[in-house]
Amino acid sequence: MPPVLELKGITKRFPGVLANDHIDLTLHEGTVLALLGESGAGKSTLMNVLYGLYTPDEGEIAIRGERVDIAGPNDAIRLGIGMVHQHFMLVPVLTVTENVMLGMESIKHGILLDREAAAKRIRDLSARYGLDVNPDDLVGDLPVGIQQRVEIIKLLYRNADILILDEPTAVLTPQEVEGFFAVVRTLVAQGKSVIFISHKLKEVLALADTIAVLRRGKLVGAADPATATERDLASLMVGREVILTVSKEPAHPQEVILAVKELRVRGDRGEIAVDGISFEACAGEIVGVAGVQGNGQTELIEALTGLRPVMTGTVTLAGQDITNHTPRTITEVGSAHIPEDRQKDGLVLGYPISDNLVLNTYYLPPVAKGLVMQEEVIAERAERLVKEYDVRTPGIFTPAGNLSGGNQQKVIVARELSRDVKLVIASQPTRGLDVGSIEYIHSQLVRKRDEGAAVIVVSAELDEVLSLADRILVMFDGEIMGVVLADEATKEEIGLLMAGVHPGTQEAA
Amino acid sequence: MSRQKANAEGKSPSRISAAARSLAVPLLAVVTALIIGALLIIVTDETVLAAFGRGIGSGLVQAWRIISKAYGAFFFGAFGDLYHITETLRIATPYIFAGLAVALGFQGGLFNIGAEGQYFIGGLTSVYVGYSLTGLPWFVHLPLALLAGAVGGALWAGIVGVLKAKTGAHEVINTIMMNYVAYRLAEFMLDVGGPMARPGYRPVSPEVQPSAYLPQFFPSDSTIRFNAGFFIALAFAVLVWWLLYKTTLGYEIRTVGQNPHAARYAGINVPRTIIITMALSGALAGLAAPMDILGVIHFMPNAFSSGYGFDAIALALLGNSHPLGVVLASLLFGALRSGASNMQGIAQIPIDITSILQGLIIVFIAAPAIVRAIYRIRGLEQGEELVLTRGWGQM
Amino acid sequence: MDTILNQEKRKARTMGIIFLVFALAVLLLFLPGTTGEQQTTFTFTATKVEALALPDLIFSTQMGLYVLVVVIVFLGAWQLAKGFPNQNLILGVVAGLFVLAFLAWAARDKSMNLTGMLESTLLRSMPILLAALSGVMCERSGVVNIGIEGMMLAGAFLSALIGSVTGSQWWGLLAALAGGGLMAALLAVLAINYKVDQIVAGTAITILATGLTSYFSSRYLQTNAALNTPPTFRPLQIPLLGRIPVVGPAFFNHTFVVYLAFFLVFAIQFMLYQTRWGLRTRAVGEHPRAADTLGIKVFRTRYINVIIGGMVAGLSGAYLVLSSVARFDELMSAGKGYIGMAAMIFGNWNPIGAFGSSLIFGFADSLQTKLAILQVPIPSQFLLMAPYLVTMIVLAGVVGQSRPPAADGAPYEKE
């Protein structure tokens, strides 16, 4: 029997980038194929090609041995291919039924939507695959884990038998991940075939039947989950002998710089996102914050930097109470912030680099004298920082939007770390960057620590936290599950904490 | 919403060639609009149609005759002699203020579609100070009357700014609503028997005291209405340019306009900046009214509508929201208006053709891809184009 | 969660206080001007057609006002003590009672024809309603249309011209649909394909349409009266329904265009929520990429909606000409397109809501002429301001929230 899906020599170019370079993949019926790679490796591009959202420049696709052309989602759906996107494609103000039937509506009396018929089918599918979804709920009211199941029902409703799941666990809590794995196993047991896209080694090893590793648009290897180890996969994925280690001296923590007491913060949907957290960060140490994405890290950082109101609790910076102070006050007391979303929060893409370098000091002397900004000072500073922080740019007046991601991040790092601050907060400082930029940014954070600042690093990458931090806080469900010293902790120990389990007790919290 | 994708290998073009290319689109837009206007004049002219009935050749000859007569009158009306040149400059004067108002809003990410209403209110406050205060020397009275116009407009727009900053209510709808409230308010004030109407049966305000007149430059020739307002407008264009590009407040306004998230991150008080931007924009629109009232007619009539609100949007777009661009665009519109009224008198072409030209110019400038496709010119680098507004859905 | 509950409570209390303020306003504004002997007369005569007549309602002004105050106070007290399940409905009732009190006061020692009032309210709300429906059609699919005013002018102009030339109001009507649709097609091209800022594109369309209609009008219609005398639609009284007192003359004695507008309100409402087209339109307006991944053609959906929306705006223009004044005047839409947008927002992007708010705007409009006749000492300009002020208050979220489609105004970029 031919494989259910075969990709041969798929190539996709974007201006200046070769996103997919002659990729071959084979998916057999009733199995899980894991596609592993760092962000930017070309996984999503490949799947968008398969789903008909991009047209490949070269290569062919065969389904059950037959060559097919996929010109758009309609073709993909007709061929039985379904995709759950990393960012859910759900309309929050519509019900589950309406979301699922959209594009393939059941009709009665010629023109009326037949919601009952669709809801009945959704209930059947939900029961058959153990999905537990109520068709009448409004999607916007559902938790993320259930929304993901609605996405899966959308595929099943269209009789998809090849399911593409793009980074499905990134937004899930550990319990939800377990539930999700169970769903995938049920699907496969009933004959569906799954492509599971991830950059998380453990999950890939736990779920996949076969593993393909992508790096910089190329297929660099395949692995058998029965024999492969995390270390093998990591070196395949990164392209050199495993993990990034950061060269640094042991820390010499001094006085307390940041003290957080019983902090409670609401998330965007009104839920308690940070639930009574207390910790301290001292001069001369790097505190890492580890945890699965969405466990309150973003809200914590926004509360510390004045971007999100604090419900209860206090934040003290260098002895000064900064609870619910404005971002400006907090910056002036002596804090630097490398934000999580650099293009949204950290830069004005239309501004030249020089103007971006004074984004939070534009009003202070010597950048401004009274109301008037000093152009020579700004230009001089820009020339110096671009050189010092190795920003690769044609000039200081180039718009920040024209720089590569790594260089954009270096502009932010230059702006934040060139100031004389007591506290540095870096949120996902290296997400999506090339290895060279990652190492550079790490070394700068360590330099800042050695100069006597307290540094807080939030990262979804456990390896990054482990190699960079001196002390690690593990967040789970808005709380600190545990605090470990980086050179004593093991990955397993932190992994358990991230999953909400206290090592030793082995009981779910 | 649409975030510009990083363009890794983008070499920044020299500033001069970027400027040349950013001028190309507006110029070609104007030229294209004039060509379409000519076609419109031809196809709506009976003599031309009749001539085409006699053969292509005679049709073309007649078309040329009509167009050269019309556009001849048009260009004479715009630049032909001292009177028409000064008329062009006089008409351009309130345009500069109104255009600056909308441009400043655009720079701050706000679409002030209410310049018309702010103009009305500015007119009311300015004319009130102009006629009610007596016995003041001109160097006190005139600045006071101007200031009153600015304050009136600033308050009127400031309300919308406060609503936007505090409740997120979209400024486009609210400025439109405020326009209509302003019409009614002006109507009430100036209606016969109204609080600001002059005694008698005309719905107009009393005459402004001569001490609040904008000085005339050709007092000997009473037909020439050119006055000091034009130079005040130029001074304000420079002031707005300086404010936007040289001061911290301008940096704040532009940052909020381009990326409000980054502005918040940078410690800028975004709601306050929105209110200030809106109020400054309203002040500029409010100053447009005294240019007409203190400079030309010396009273405020009821039903004063002159379409400044929409013209101002066209001016800001045409000038790429840059003060210098707005001045050039205003001179162009002044010429269009002055020329069109001469064209109406001499060639019987309805003056409404200026609205058609303005509409076309906005279309071509807002969709530069159309102009580029017609003339096959290269586009600008990403990151150089200004984000104008955001839809209701996304704040 | 506790604070959300508190917010609810605070809102309920505020609402109760608002009710009491209404009662206080009646007490302070209207009652002091009345004397014990004054009487208010409400009549219910249909002005244009035969309908079953109701006897006149004559009552003591002061007594009437006191009764209304008592009812409003009762509603306010009930709201404060127990709370109504549907607060906004009760707010509407209270506002209605307040208006009634105002009318009773205004008509003291005089008589006011409520049926005539309702008739003129309806007629004046029609162009606003059609403009609002046009907005609903476009914005539900994610395209902001502030060119409605221009599309109305295009429709009005063509209906006058073609109606006059062909001598048939039906051809005039079709021409208006085509004119509005054509202007909308321009908006669609600019907004959807060229991704022009939709507000700028809509503004350009209004300016362009203003220029074109005024230009052609002064070139042709003003010089040749034969080109500007279209035949009009005559009112058709619906048998039986048309004879119901008050309601009959107000709703069932109108021209074809008005009935068509009624039909459109319910048709669009029904289509939006009960048909495939509606589901897809809403999905495209809320989350176009999600719709795209399910194979729905985002561009095509938006094109269809915007063009139909433009045709509805054209119909609004045709109403002004073919169902009303029987000629085209420059700028005759006089801002009704913008009021229509306000009505759309006030009606929460919903056809029936838009109908309700158009009636309110139409009421304010007809009230000011009636009051001028009654010589009420309130400047009519302030009544005319009311709809705009109410819209601003609604937008500020003081009375309930209105929520636009999530992707409204955002161009869709295909990957």
A37 and A120 share one domain: yes
Across the interface, whether the CB atoms of A346 and B265 are under 8 A apart is answered yes
Interface of B with C in 294-313 (CB under 8 A): 310, 313
Residue in B with minimal Cα distance to C410: B391
Q: Which residues contact A166 (CB under 8 A, 6 or more apart)?
A: A43, A44, A47, A83, A84, A85, A86, A197
Across the interface, whether the CB atoms of A405 and B262 are under 8 A apart is answered no
Whether residue A355 is contained in a domain is answered as no
Please tell me which of the candidates C190, C395, C405 has its beta carbon nearest to residue B366: C190
**Could you report the per-residue pLDDT of A122-175, keeping only the tens digit for each?**
999 999 988 889 999 999 888 888 899 999 999 999 999 999 998 888 777 666
Preceding peptide of B94 cis, ω within 30°:
no
Across the interface, whether the CB atoms of A90 and C290 are under 8 A apart is answered yes
Across the interface, whether the CB atoms of A91 and C290 are under 8 A apart is answered yes
Q: Please report the pLDDT score of residue B75 as a whole number.
A: 92
pLDDT averaged over chain A?
Answer: 88
Distance CA(C192)–CA(C309), nearest Å, equals: 15
Q: Identify residue B129 by its one-letter amino acid code.
A: V
Residue in C with minimal Cα distance to B37: C212
**From the candidates B1, B2, B12, which should be mutated to test the interface with A, based on the most A CB atoms within 10 A?**
B12
With an 8 Å Cβ cutoff, is A339 touching chain B? yes
pLDDT of C122 over the 60 cut: yes
Q: Please report the pLDDT score of residue C216 as a whole number.
A: 94
Query: Which range is least confidently modeled, A224-228, A493-497, B35-39, B116-120?
Result: A493-497
A136 and A225 share one domain: yes
Give the whole-number percent of chain A exceeding pLDDT 90.
58
Q: In this structure, which long-range contacts are made by residues B69-74, counting pairs with CB atoms below 8 Å and at least 24 apart in sequence?
A: B69/B346, B69/B347, B70/B38, B70/B41, B70/B343, B70/B347, B70/B349, B71/B34, B71/B38, B71/B343, B73/B339, B73/B342, B73/B343, B73/B345, B73/B346, B73/B347, B74/B339, B74/B340, B74/B342, B74/B343
Across the interface, whether the CB atoms of C392 and B177 are under 8 A apart is answered yes
Q: Is the pTM of this model over 0.95?
A: no
Domain end point (choices A178, A207, A238):
A238
Distance CA(A27)–CA(C18), nearest Å, equals: 66
- Tell me the nearest-neighbour CA distance from B222 into chain A, angstroms: 43
**Could you report the per-residue pLDDT of C175-232, keeping only the tens digit for each?**
999 999 999 999 999 999 998 888 889 989 999 999 999 999 998 998 888 999 999 9
Q: Please report the pLDDT score of residue A110 as a whole number.
A: 85
A178 and A261 share one domain: no
Residue in B with minimal Cα distance to A357: B266
A312 and A449 share one domain: yes
Across the interface, whether the CB atoms of B362 and C406 are under 8 A apart is answered no
Q: Torsion-angle region of residue C284: left (phi > 0), alpha (psi -120 to 50) or beta? A: alpha
Q: Which chains touch C (3 or more CB pairs under 8 A)?
A: A, B
Going by pLDDT thresholds of 50, 70 and 90, the confidence category of residue C400 is low
Query: Which range is least confidently modeled, A237-246, C57-66, C195-204, C396-405?
Result: A237-246
Whether residue A146 is contained in a domain is answered as yes
Going by pLDDT thresholds of 50, 70 and 90, the confidence category of residue A293 is confident
- Tell me the nearest-neighbour CA distance from C274 into chain A, angstroms: 5
Domain C115-398: which topology? Answer: ABC transporter involved in vitamin B12 uptake, BtuC (1.10.3470)
- Mind listing the pLDDT tens digit of every residue in chain B (395 residues)? 333 333 333 334 455 565 666 678 888 888 999 999 999 999 888 888 899 888 888 999 999 999 999 999 999 999 999 999 999 999 999 999 999 999 999 999 998 989 999 999 999 999 999 999 999 999 999 999 999 999 999 999 999 999 999 888 888 889 988 998 999 999 999 988 889 999 888 889 999 999 999 998 887 777 888 999 999 999 999 999 999 999 999 999 999 999 999 999 999 999 999 999 999 999 999 999 999 999 999 999 886 566 788 889 889 988 889 999 999 999 999 999 999 999 999 988 998 998 899 899 889 888 888 888 888 776 554 444 444 545 444 43
A330 and A417 share one domain: yes
One-character DSSP codes across C331-363: TTTTTHHHHHHHHHHHTTT-HHHHHHHHHHHHH
CATH code of the domain containing A441: 3.40.50.300
With an 8 Å Cβ cutoff, is A394 touching chain B? yes
A175 and A262 share one domain: no
pLDDT of A508 over the 80 cut: no
Domain end point (choices A191, A206, A238):
A238
pLDDT of C84 over the 70 cut: yes
Interface of B with C in 191-250 (CB under 8 A): 191
Q: Please report the pLDDT score of residue A496 as a whole number.
A: 78
Domain end point (choices A238, A266, A299):
A238
A341 and A195 share one domain: no
Residue in A with minimal Cα distance to B11: A394
A107 and A230 share one domain: yes
Give the whole-number percent of chain A exceeding pLDDT 70.
95
A407 and A273 share one domain: yes
Q: What's the average model confidence in pLDDT over A41-45?
A: 83
Across the interface, whether the CB atoms of C385 and B180 are under 8 A apart is answered yes
* Domain ranges in chain C with CATH number 1.10.3470.10: 115-398
Please tell me which of the candidates A73, A85, A91 has its beta carbon nearest to residue C295: A73
Q: Which residues contact C144 (CB under 8 A, 6 or more apart)?
A: B391, B392, C138, C198, C199, C202, C408, C409
Whether residue A151 is contained in a domain is answered as yes
Whether residue A360 is contained in a domain is answered as no
Give the whole-number percent of chain C exceeding pLDDT 70.
95
Please tell me which of the candidates B249, B268, B386 has its beta carbon nearest to residue A371: B249
**Could you report the per-residue pLDDT of A440-484, keeping only the tens digit for each?**
899 999 999 999 999 999 987 777 888 899 999 999 889 999 999
**From the candidates A301, A332, A344, A402, which should be mutated to test the interface with B, based on the most B CB atoms within 10 A?**
A402
Across the interface, whether the CB atoms of B394 and C219 are under 8 A apart is answered no
Residue in A with minimal Cα distance to B258: A348
Residue that wins the pLDDT comparison between C1 and A332: A332
Distance CA(B104)–CA(B257), nearest Å, equals: 10
Across the interface, whether the CB atoms of C282 and A93 are under 8 A apart is answered yes
Whether residue A415 is contained in a domain is answered as yes
Across the interface, whether the CB atoms of C293 and A51 are under 8 A apart is answered yes
Q: Please report the pLDDT score of residue C83 as a whole number.
A: 81
Q: Please report the pLDDT score of residue C275 as a whole number.
A: 95
pLDDT of C48 over the 70 cut: no
- Tell me the nearest-neighbour CA distance from C1 into chain A, angstroms: 8
Whether residue A354 is contained in a domain is answered as no
Residue that wins the pLDDT comparison between A440 and A261: A261
A302 and A155 share one domain: no
Q: Torsion-angle region of residue A474: left (phi > 0), alpha (psi -120 to 50) or beta? A: beta
Q: What's the average model confidence in pLDDT over A173-194?
A: 87
- The Cα-based distances of A339 to A347, A424, A440 in angstroms read 10, 11, 17
Going by pLDDT thresholds of 50, 70 and 90, the confidence category of residue C398 is low
Total domains present in chain A: 2
**Dihedral of CA B179/B180/B183/B189: which sign?**
negative
A231 and A128 share one domain: yes
With an 8 Å Cβ cutoff, is C377 touching chain B? no
Across the interface, whether the CB atoms of A92 and C280 are under 8 A apart is answered no
Closest-CA residue to A430 (of A34, A18, A40): A40
With an 8 Å Cβ cutoff, is C212 touching chain B? yes
Domain with A194, as residue range(s), is: 5-238
Q: Please report the pLDDT score of residue C346 as a whole number.
A: 81
